[in-house]
């Protein structure tokens, strides 16, 4: 009986140790026990192996669960669609150049899902040559070379994140996406849900946010 008790204590400690704690805000905070996002899954991939090795893909443990659950839901709701996440933050949070936020594990960038000239869902190319995708500029029509933003898939992803967060007792604080392109997103078949449930930033950001959308999660911090 004594040994069983010790095993239960060890297991409980291990589970607790894996849970993250965020401090402060996304723009002035830190993170304890950050979790590295999985590099890839059936319908998603990270933006860079180099950045991953450099420790730039850590998040709060609850954010990790939300993101993974959302991608899982999209396997059914958006079959054949592929997604890519980008910058998140360091394992212990803190200043994350060149970003002004991403400091406490609750901020995640996602590259916009795109389709090619054949209508096939493909990953937006990200490499050091285009600053891992952040140097890409989409037109007002949502086009870049032979890629077009897939607003339906993007909207479905944001909704999947919102629903996954709600299931875990959390929420999305805000989504930052280029104000010029936002109307196209709201014209998708998911537009009504987005308008009623998602807070989009209306302020002009210091960078355009057209090749990616920034999501801040609402999770209690110390």
Q: Which domain holds residue 33?
A: 2-218
Q: What are phi and psi of 210, to 5 degrees?
A: -110, -30
Two structure tokens written together for 129: 């040559």
> pLDDT at position 131, please?
96
Q: How does residue 206 score in pLDDT terms, banded at 50, 70 and 90?
A: low
pLDDT tens-digit series, residues 125-146: 999 999 999 999 999 999 999 9
The CATH number covering residue 85 comes to 3.30.1380.10
Q: pLDDT tens-digit profile of 134-193?
A: 999 999 999 999 999 999 999 999 999 999 999 999 999 999 999 999 999 999 999 999
* pLDDT bucket at 16, cuts 50 / 70 / 90: very low
E strand or H helix at 18: helix 2-18
What mean pLDDT value characterizes the chain? 92
Does residue 17 surpass a pLDDT of 90?
no
Total tally of structural domains belonging to the chain: 1
Q: What does the alpha-carbon distance between residue 173 and residue 201 come to, in Å, rounded to a whole number?
A: 10
What per-residue confidence (pLDDT) applies to 207?
A: 78
Q: How far apart are CA 35 and CA 43, in angstroms?
A: 20
Give the contacts of 177 (CB within 8 A, at least 6 positions apart): 185, 200, 201, 209, 210, 213, 214
Q: Please state whether beta strands 147-149 and 114-115 pair in parallel, antiparallel, or not at all (unpaired).
A: antiparallel
Q: How large a percentage of the chain has pLDDT more than 70?
A: 91
Q: What is the pLDDT of residue 205?
A: 67
């Amino acid at each position: 009986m004594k040994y069983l008790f010790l095993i239960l204590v060890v297991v409980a400690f291990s589970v607790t140790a894996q849970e993250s704690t965020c401090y402060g805000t996304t723009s002035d905070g830190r993170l304890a026990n950050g979790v590295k996002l999985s590099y890839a899954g059936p319908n998603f991939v990270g933006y860079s192996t180099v950045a991953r090795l450099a420790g730039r893909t850590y998040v709060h443990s609850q954010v990790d669960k939300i993101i993974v659950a959302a991608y899982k839901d999209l396997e059914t709701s958006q079959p054949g669609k592929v997604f890519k996440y980008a910058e998140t933050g360091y394992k212990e949070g803190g200043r994350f150049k060149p970003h002004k936020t991403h400091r406490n594990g609750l901020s995640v960038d996602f590259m916009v899902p795109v389709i090619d000239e054949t209508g096939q869902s493909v990953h937006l190319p990200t490499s050091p040559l285009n600053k891992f995708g952040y140097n890409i500029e989409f037109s007002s029509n949502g086009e870049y070379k032979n890629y077009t933003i897939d607003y339906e898939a993007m909207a479905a992803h944001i909704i999947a994140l919102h629903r996954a967060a709600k299931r875990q007792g959390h929420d999305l604080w805000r989504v930052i996406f280029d104000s010029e392109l936002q109307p196209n997103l709201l014209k998708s078949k998911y537009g009504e849900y987005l308008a009623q449930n998602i807070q989009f930033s209306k302020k002009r950001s210091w960078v355009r946010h057209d090749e990616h959308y920034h999501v801040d999660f609402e999770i209690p911090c110390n």
